[in-house]
């Protein structure tokens, strides 16, 4: 049985300094599942400086149109590579290669 990220056996023994009441843990686990079914969250992790993220935009827009109304979308920014002159030529080449491959979306060409 897992409580948080700690594994426990079913005897209610002490594990990692934590006393676990199995009956209570099972009840809490059951309640958690009920709560989770009421509100669902989709975490969309993206990087506005990632060319592939821009290429994914049409697909993401289609996913959003088809998502059930009870799913909340939370946007999380990841990556965010620092801007530098050294990387611009490489990024432009990546953007062109992705644009040539995908061809259906306008990528961020602000570089």
What pLDDT sits at residue 34?
46
Say yes or no: 34 and 44 in one domain: no
Asked if 50 and 85 sit in the same domain, the reply is yes
Of residues 71 and 5, more confidence is placed in 71
111 vs 109: CA distance, rounded Å: 5
- Do 104 and 56 fall into the same domain? yes
Do both 103 and 49 map to the same domain?
Answer: yes
Same-domain pairing of 50 and 67: yes
Instruction: Report the percentage of the chain scoring pLDDT > 90.
Output: 19
The verdict on 2 and 34 lying in the same domain is yes
Count of positions (residues) in the chain: 111
Domain range for residue 99?
A: 40-111
- Over residues 39-55, the mean pLDDT reads 85
Q: How many Å apart are CA 56 and CA 52, to the nearest integer?
A: 6
Q: pTM above 0.75? A: no
Number of domains in the chain: 2
């Amino acid at each position: 049985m897992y409580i948080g990220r700690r594994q426990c056996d079913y005897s209610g023994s002490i594990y990692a300094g934590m006393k676990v009441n199995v009956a209570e843990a099972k009840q809490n686990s059951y309640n958690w599942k009920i709560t989770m079914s009421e509100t669902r969250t989709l975490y969309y992790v993206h990087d506005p400086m990632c060319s592939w993220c821009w290429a994914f935009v049409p697909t993401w827009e289609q996913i959003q149109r088809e998502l059930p109304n009870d799913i909340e979308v939370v946007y999380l920014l990841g990556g965010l590579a620092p801007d530098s002159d050294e990387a611009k030529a490489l990024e432009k080449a990546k953007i062109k290669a992705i644009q040539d491959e995908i061809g259906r979306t306008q990528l961020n060409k602000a570089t």
